[in-house]
A and B are shown apart, each in its own frame.
Chain A
Amino acid sequence: KQEVTQIPAALSVPEGENLVLNCSFTDSAIYNLQWFRQDPGKGLTSLLLIQSSQREQTSGRLNASLDKSSGRSTLYIAASQPGDSATYLCAILRADKLIFGTGTRLQVFP
């Protein structure tokens, strides 16, 4: 059974810090990997999508990497801001289904 885990489960940092969120998965046979943001009581906002053939994707202050062979992905957030506070979920696409990780709850305080 494919499992997706995220470390840390929660993170609280002061504004301005650079952050690394980790995602690991047990089966390397994935189609792609996505990082999402979820605000409290809300749905999901897609941040970055990395195809299985790619190694990384960048959008603004966000950079996501993918290492299929080791079953790992990282989301790097540069110069964090209070507005970045949310839960971050990674998800792999395998057999036409998204399998979500357990999430990292991020709080950035001023």
Chain B
Amino acid sequence: GAVVSQHPSRVICKSGTSVKIECRSLDFQATTMFWYRQFPKQSLMLMATSNEGSKATYEQGVEKDKFLINHASLTLSTLTVTSAHPEDSSFYICSAEENRGQPQHFGDGTRLSIL
């Protein structure tokens, strides 16, 4: 089946650090990738949608300068949390779809903890 690999699985770093999270589709080409954020005991909230070779589309209320998304190839999208602060601590999950409208395949998530 379709596999999405997300790395790293856990990050602990100091306030002010920038953190990069990678999302890779291992056995298919993903025309679209999605980034979600999940607070403890809450649901997933879509942050942005990225298409290969074009700028990401951010959801309302998500700071595009804070959360930089790059989708440079059909198998890789990255999310960079710039100058992270404790309030950015959360669980970030990516997903990928091979073609628009097809089911999304999810990564295992990244637990980000900012001290």
Nearest B residue to A89, CB-CB: B43
Task: Assess whether A63 is interfacial by the CB under 8 Å rule.
Answer: no
Q: How many residues belonging to A are interface residues under a CB distance threshold of 8 Å?
A: 23
Instruction: Determine whether the beta carbon of B46 is less than 8 Å from that of A97.
Output: yes
Instruction: Determine whether the beta carbon of A96 is less than 8 Å from that of B46.
Output: no
A59 to B20, CA, bound (A): 37
B109 / chain A contacts, CB cutoff of 8 Å: 41-43
A105 to B42, CA, bound (A): 11
Nearest B residue to A96, CB-CB: B100
Task: Assess whether A25 is interfacial by the CB under 8 Å rule.
Answer: no
Q: Mark B81-114, 1 if CB is under 8 A from A, else 0.
A: 0000000000101010000110111111101000
| Chain B interface, DSSP helix/strand/loop, else mixed | strand
A93 / chain B contacts, CB cutoff of 8 Å: 101
Task: Assess whether B49 is interfacial by the CB under 8 Å rule.
Answer: yes
Q: How many A-B residue pairs have CB under 8 A?
A: 50
Q: How many residues belonging to B are interface residues under a CB distance threshold of 8 Å?
A: 23
Known A43-B93, A44-B93: A100·B106 in contact at CB below 8 Å = no
Known A43-B6, A43-B109, A97-B49: A102·B42 in contact at CB below 8 Å = yes
A100 to B104, CA, bound (A): 13
Residue from B34, B42, B103, B107 within 8 A of A43 (CB atoms): B107
Task: Assess whether B44 is interfacial by the CB under 8 Å rule.
Answer: yes
Instruction: Determine whether the beta carbon of B103 is less than 8 Å from that of A42.
Output: no
B6 / chain A contacts, CB cutoff of 8 Å: 43
B44 / chain A contacts, CB cutoff of 8 Å: 44, 89, 91, 98, 100
Nearest B residue to A49, CB-CB: B103
